[in-house]
Amino acid sequence: MLLEKKKQKFDEITKDFLIDTDGLRKIMVLLEQAFDKGLAMETASSASVLMLPTYVQSIPDGTEQGEFLALDLGGTNFRIFFVKIINREMKVKSTTCCVPNDVMKATGEELFDYIAKCIAEFMKEHGLTKSKSLPLGFTFSFACKQDGLASARLIAWTKGFKASGVENEDVAELLRSACQRRGDINVDVVAVLNDTTATLMASAFERNSCQIAVIVGTGTNACYMEKLEKCGKLRKGIDFEEGTFDEMCINTEWGSFGDHGELDWLRTDFDQQVDEATINPGHQLFLKMTSGMYLGETVRAVLERLTREGVLFGGQTEGISKHGLFLTKYISEIESEFIENDGTFPKTLQILKVMGVEEVSQLDCIRVATICTLISTRAAHLIAAATATIIKRMGKPFVSIGVDGSVYRFHPTFSRLLDEKISELIDKNLKYELLLSIDGSGRGAALVAAVAMRMNKKFHC
Ligand code: GLC
């Protein structure tokens, strides 16, 4: 195929990944409507964006003290933390356990027994088994329906988890039962929270202007402090006490934006193809366009199509047609190499070779990097539009935003693209800052456990 013809084909196949500023502004309007729908009493049950109450009504005030255990389950790894909070300082010990694929898809009992086993090993290693019962904060990063801080019913698994008998169940109770079944550990599950809430708490502990948290990792999500008067579905006297706090942290679960067709005008054939091959087709469509679990596969789908059309790799589709083989971390590696460009692409060649792609020209490497850039830029811009929607909605003159997640942390340009686009999309009188929050899930869970203990103490006085 002639070079010019190849270029034309390339542009034609990839053009739908570009979203202009008007497109992003349209997304902001649609997302704001979805937020309102999710918060109103009459429409909440049929909303695409769940807007889940977290029962966290205040950010840490610095008086939190004590020793806590914290768990973080929700991505590829399961983490356990022992946190000591003394005089505004946190000392953290932690361990990471990999959740084997078969455990992710086993029965709920097996999954929670595995978690309890890891906790027991950690506690033994740190000499914590003999102490009195330790309060535990559980960061469980899936959409849950809560009716208080210490109980959370899983609405639906995402991110490759599928353990049976957990959906609709209270995960705090499943954890308590698994710990009791073992009989060798003494923990008190006092709070269950989403990773966004944990990140918000951890960032607010550092900077009390923090009122929003965003995660862009295996999945994506955000939470923010919303005025109670805008949460029509919360009931006075049942969900909140009158006259105490006037806000509640709302876990948006924005990953499912688009599930009611709101993004159909924007989704490409490739997004559809990626979605169809997942374990939950038609669900979490915004998440599937933006998060680590799916970005690599989206790139692969485009590369495969371009190869079939004769634009790449001499038309040899072997290797590139194997589902799931192009990992999201390759996007970062390939783009980093392209940015440092000295005209050679050893890393890109190595990645493609591992996948079984043999016939690779220098121009192919440049095109692969261009596709990676298109797809990661689209993700950053979509997350920017969603974040700008919250900033605009809150209307505070200044707000700090805690951000975490592997895509945000490790992709070479994601954080810059996100920041630049948010500034472009919000009114100039609204100011914000993005704060990188590392390990917020563990520290935040300990903080919420501390707040829960403090509230209980007050209650008993
Ligand atoms: C998924 C989960 C959500 C979590 C996010 C980031 O979207 O549904 O609860 O916050 O991933 O981990």
Which of 21-35, 78-92, 129-143, 184-198 is modeled with the greatest confidence?
Answer: 21-35
**Torsion angle in degrees (nearest 10) through CA of 245, 50, 81, 212:** -60
pLDDT in tens, 298-329: 999 999 999 999 999 999 999 999 999 999 99
CATH match of 1-51+203-438 with 3.40.47.10: no
Burial class (CB in 10 A: 0-12, 13-18, 19+), 122: buried
Nearest-angstrom CA–CA distance, 389 and 198: 21
Atom 2 (ligand 1): residue with closest C-alpha?
142
Report whether pLDDT(98) > 80.
yes
Smallest CA-to-CA distance from 148 within 248, 50, 253, 42 is with: 248
- Element (DSSP H or E) covering residue 389: helix 362-394
- CA angle (351 as vertex; 347, 354 as ends), nearest 5: 135
d(CA 385, CA 419): 11
**Ligand 1 centroid from CA 370, angstroms:** 28
Asked whether the domain spanning 55-193 has the same topology as the one spanning 1-51+203-438, the reply is: no
Q: According to the model, what pLDDT value does residue 456 have? A: 63
pLDDT number for residue 131: 67
Residue 195 bears catalytic tag = yes
Name every protein residue with a CB atom under 6 angstroms from any ligand 1 atom: 74, 141-143, 158-159, 194-196, 215, 217, 219-221, 253, 255, 287
- At 6 the three-state DSSP class reads helix
User: Are residues 83 and 442 in contact, defined by beta-carbon separation less than 8 angstroms?
Assistant: yes
- At 424-453, the pLDDT tens digits run 999 999 999 999 998 899 999 999 999 888
| Residue closest by Cα to atom 1 of ligand 1 | 219
**E-assigned strand segments in 291-333:** none
β-strand 431-436 against 398-404: which pairing, if any? Answer: parallel
pLDDT at 458 over 70: no
Q: Are strands 398-404 and 52-53 parallel, antiparallel or unpaired?
A: unpaired
Spatial separation of the C-alpha atoms in residues 9 and 432, rounded to whole Å: 41
- Compute φ and ψ for 183, nearest 5 degrees: 75, -5
The one-letter amino acid at 51 = M
Whether 236 sits among the annotated catalytic residues: the reply is: no
What percent of the chain is predicted at pLDDT more than 70?
Answer: 98
Ligand 1 atom nearest the C-alpha of 75 is: 12
CB 442 within 8 A of CB 139: yes
Name the catalytic one among 113, 195, 404, 439.
Answer: 195
Is it the case that residue 460 has pLDDT exceeding 60? no
Burial code (b: 16+ CB inside 10 Å, e: under 16) for 312-345 equals bbeeeeebbbeeebbbbbbbbbbbebbeeeeeeb
Report the CATH number of the 55-193 domain: 3.30.420.40
List the catalytic residue out of 72, 113, 159, 275. 159
pLDDT in tens, 231-250: 999 998 888 888 888 999 99
Cβ–Cβ < 8 Å for 330, 353: no
How far is 326 from 307, CA to CA, in rounded Å? 15
- Average confidence score pLDDT of the chain: 94
> What distance in Å separates the CA atoms of residue 295 and residue 361, rounded to the nearest whole number?
24
Helix (H, G, I), strand (E, B) or coil at 371: helix
- Asked if 38 contacts 45 with a C-beta cutoff of 8 angstroms, the reply is no
Question: Where do the domains of the chain lie?
Answer: 1-51+203-438, 55-193
Mutate to test the pocket of ligand 1, among 215, 223, 280, 408 (most ligand atoms within 8 A of CB): 215
Cα of 145 vs centre of ligand 1, distance in Å, is 13
Query: Which amino acid would we find at residue 106?
Result: A
What is the residue whose two structure tokens read 């890109």? 348
Calculate the CA 92 to chain-centre distance.
22
